[in-house]
A and B are shown apart, each in its own frame.
Chain A
């Protein structure tokens, strides 16, 4: 019942009731979780847009750091590049439909969460060895803590839009 309410609330928010949504409304309410296999709709569009901005800025920043001053702090700048790759993979996989894209998204967002937590903690407790800025330094403080918030929202969104269990 609660699920049905969520679904109808969602379809009224979306304005246009997509076929997928209406089939979910009429279909099994308590069986398999939301069986849509896309994550690029509704709030997902905002999530993807923000991921895209981070993918662009992290890529540009890492490229700039590596091209101009790589020898100053190879580890920090390789980390920057790694973060950039993670954001690019997350953006692309979130935008694509299908089960494989879903799995890739989960891995990318989890790696991002671990990355921001580990790098954030290291930059706080071991600031001598991590003096150089990356997107994830100080839990993404330089970016309004969005890098910390983003993977959490991403995981919530992925959970809500997880593919239905495969029929045996």
Chain B
């Protein structure tokens, strides 16, 4: 597991905790929860840029490269899709939808790390 994974681990879990708490407090998605999901997206983008740099500088992905990039593309789309789905209906339940993004990103980042090394 590399630094990228740990960044996503911390940001993802924080985002999930924030969103679950907001959902339990019966709040609709607000700036805090949406920005926490945006932070997950940002940490994934850092991983994306870092990975492009590493590949460009000659590092090789141990597993299937296209599997890695497939995970990366899907992970990057998840926060966007979840925010879209959440703001279409602004109820407390949408915060639980947003909460799912963080843990899912962590799981996918772990898998991406496995593929890379």
Contacts and interface: CB of A to CB of B under 8 A. Distances in A.
B100 A45 contact: no
A142 to B, nearest CB: 10
Given A14-B91, A15-B90, A53-B104, A60 B82 contact: no
Contacts of B100: 46, 49-50, 53
Contacts of B94: 45
Contacts of A13: 26, 91-93
Contacts of B93: 13, 42-46
Nearest to A53: B104
Contacts of A15: 28, 90-92
A53 B104 CA distance: 9
Interface residues of B, number: 21
Interface string B58-102: 000000100100100010001001100110011111101100100
A52 B91 CA distance: 19
* SS of B interface (majority): helix
Contact of B97 (A45, A56, A57): A45
Nearest to A18: B89
B106 to A, nearest CB: 12
A11 B86 CA distance: 18
Q: By CB atoms of chain A within 10 A, which of B82, B91, B94 has the most?
A: B91
Contact of A45 (B28, B70, B81, B85): B85
A50 to B, nearest CB: 6
A41 interface: yes
Given A46-B93, A46-B97, A53-B100, A60 B70 contact: yes
A42 B91 contact: yes
A145 B100 CA distance: 15
A57 to B, nearest CB: 8
Contacts of A16: 91
A159 interface: no
A49 B97 contact: yes
Interface string B29-72: 00000000000000000000000000000000000100100100
22 contacts: A13-B26, A15-B28, A15-B90, A15-B92, A16-B91, A42-B91, A42-B93, A43-B93, A45-B85, A45-B86, A45-B89, A45-B91, A46-B93, A46-B96, A46-B100, A49-B100, A50-B100, A53-B100, A53-B104, A56-B74, A57-B74, A64-B67
